Amino acid sequence: MPPTWASPPKDQTTPAPMHANPDTKSDVDSIILDYLVCLAIDSIFGSIEKLAQNESHRDDDDDVTWQVDTVRGLYSSLVLTGLESPLAEDLGIKFRILTAADQLRHATTPQTNKSREQRVPLSQIGVMFVQLCSAASLKISESRFFDALARFIVQAIIEDQSEGRQPSKELTELCSWAPEDPAQHSTWIVIRQRHVDELDLGSPRATQKAIQQYPLGGFINIITTFLRDLMTTLDPPVLIQLERGKLGDLTREDTLDLKNLVGLR
């Protein structure tokens, strides 16, 4: 079920158009993009669920791809013109979630020539995952992050081995990552080694056993659940909060003033 903020409340009236203050254009662009990014993330999660249940249709997948590509283009344009909005940090985290989740979607897609071209190795997605969690470090559980990252490493090793690839620089980077804090460093090394030491990839038969022991579908579910939960720690799209008439800690009167300023009614 999509989150409650995924669909804005319906307005039964047709108000007269208002115009935004030109000085607020950057903020308005950020507000709209924030909403579109969240919608795209929900679409990706929905697509991954359908793929897991073998309910996905090619047209659905193409729609999600179009939505994601559109948001990426808008985000790039906004960043290039200078993103100086209070939403910049939150929006940056959401965009990292979108990027990682979309790559996981391609990893789940049934293998075709097109999907192989779109697929990114799990080791590379793992590096994105580390960068995302570093940016959102104040919003995630250390132990849960460590467990998820260790599983990422295991899954990336299995993928490289099963596909006959030499360990990539991304896999090396992923395996060598460690937090700077001494206490966290020690904890992470123990968790990482516990997961990696369980792997036995010394023969094709052992590799097949590892694939069965660590199914890709279960891994995708672990990471998407992690990303979904991370989304709940971020603010709902400002556009939805404005439509509801209450933005963050602002009073309803202040929220109304802000809506008028940006050209909403």
Identify the pLDDT of residue 78: 76
In whole angstroms, give the CA distance from residue 29 to residue 196: 45
CA distance 237 to 5: 7
Judgement on whether residues 52 and 110 belong to the same structural domain of the protein: yes
Average pLDDT for residues 231-251, to the nearest whole number?
Answer: 76
Please report the pLDDT score of residue 20 as a whole number: 47
Write down the pLDDT at residue 6.
41
- Please identify, among 104, 120, 136, the residue that sits at the C-terminal boundary of a domain: 120
Which amino acid does the sequence have at 113?
A: N
The pLDDT of residue 61: 80
pLDDT of 173 strictly over 80: yes
Q: What is Dmax (Cα atoms) for the chain? A: 71
Are 175 and 146 members of one domain? yes
- In this prediction, residue 18 carries a pLDDT of 46
Q: Rounded to an integer, what distance in angstroms lies between the CA atom of residue 159 and that of residue 154?
A: 9
Closest CA to 237 of 85, 8, 41, 34: 34
Does pLDDT of 21 surpass 60? no
Tokens of 37: 């990014």
Higher pLDDT, 54 or 63: 63
pLDDT at 5 over 60: no
Domain co-membership, 213 together with 126: yes
Which is nearest to 122 in space by CA: 50, 31, 196, 223?
223
In order of 135, 143, 171, 202, 207, the CA distances from 149 in angstroms are 15, 10, 12, 23, 20
Q: Which domain holds residue 74?
A: 23-120
Q: Tell me, yes or no, whether 141 lies in a domain.
A: yes
Structural domain count of the chain: 2
In a domain, 3, yes or no: no
Q: Is residue 246 predicted with pLDDT exceeding 80?
A: no
Checking if the pLDDT of 208 tops 80, the result is yes
Whether 77 is in a domain gets the answer yes
104 with 205, same domain: the answer is no
Which tokens is 126 given?
A: 């793992």
In this structure, are 106 and 131 located in the same domain? no
Position 254 in a domain? no
**198 or 229: which carries more pLDDT confidence?**
229
Angstrom CA distances, 55 to 28, 46, 49, 218, stand at 37, 11, 8, 17
Question: What confidence category does residue 57 fall into, taking pLDDT thresholds of 50, 70 and 90?
Answer: low
In a domain? residue 18: no
Those residues whose C-beta lies under 8 Å from the C-beta of residue 210, and which sit 6 or more positions away, are 158, 161, 199, 200, 201
Residue 112: the pLDDT is 55
Q: Which of 70, 78, 73 is nearest to 29 (CA)?
A: 78
Structure confidence at residue 115 (pLDDT)? 52
pLDDT attached to residue 14: 47
Amino acid at 195: H
| pLDDT for the residue numbered 9 | 41
Asked whether residue 6 is domain-assigned, the answer is no
pLDDT at 258 over 80: no
* Residue 67 binned pLDDT confidence (cut-offs 50, 70, 90): very high
| Contact criterion met (CB below 8 Å) for 230 and 97 | yes
Domain check: are 147 and 108 in the same one?
no
Looking at the structure, do residues 107 and 148 belong to the same domain, yes or no?
Answer: no
Q: Are residues 116 and 140 in the same domain?
A: no
User: At 168, is the pLDDT very low, low, confident or very high (cuts 50, 70, 90)?
Assistant: confident
pTM value is 0.81
Among 55, 85, 120, the domain boundary falls at: 120
Distances (CA, A) of 58 to 51, 55, 109, 115: 11, 10, 10, 11
The answer to whether residue 128 sits within a structural domain is yes
Cβ atoms of 226 and 232 closer than 8 Å:
no
As a whole number, mean pLDDT of residues 38-59 equals 84
Please tell me the predicted confidence (pLDDT) of residue 4.
37
Q: Which helix (H) or strand (E) holds 247?
A: none
Q: Is residue 256 part of a domain?
A: no
The rounded distance, in Å, linking the Cα atoms of 126 and 174 is 7
DSSP-derived secondary structure letter, 164: T
> Quick one: 28 and 39 in the same domain?
yes
Domain stop point among 95, 120, 145: 120
Q: What is the pLDDT of residues 81-133, one digit of tens each?
A: 665 665 678 888 999 999 999 999 998 876 655 555 668 999 999 999 999 99
Residues 134 and 58 in one domain: no
Distance CA(98)–CA(132), nearest Å, equals 10
Q: Do 105 and 136 share a domain, yes or no?
A: no
Q: Say if residue 34 is in the same domain as residue 55.
A: yes
**In this structure, is the dihedral angle defined by the CA atoms of residues 170, 221, 107 and 73, taken in order, positive or negative?**
negative
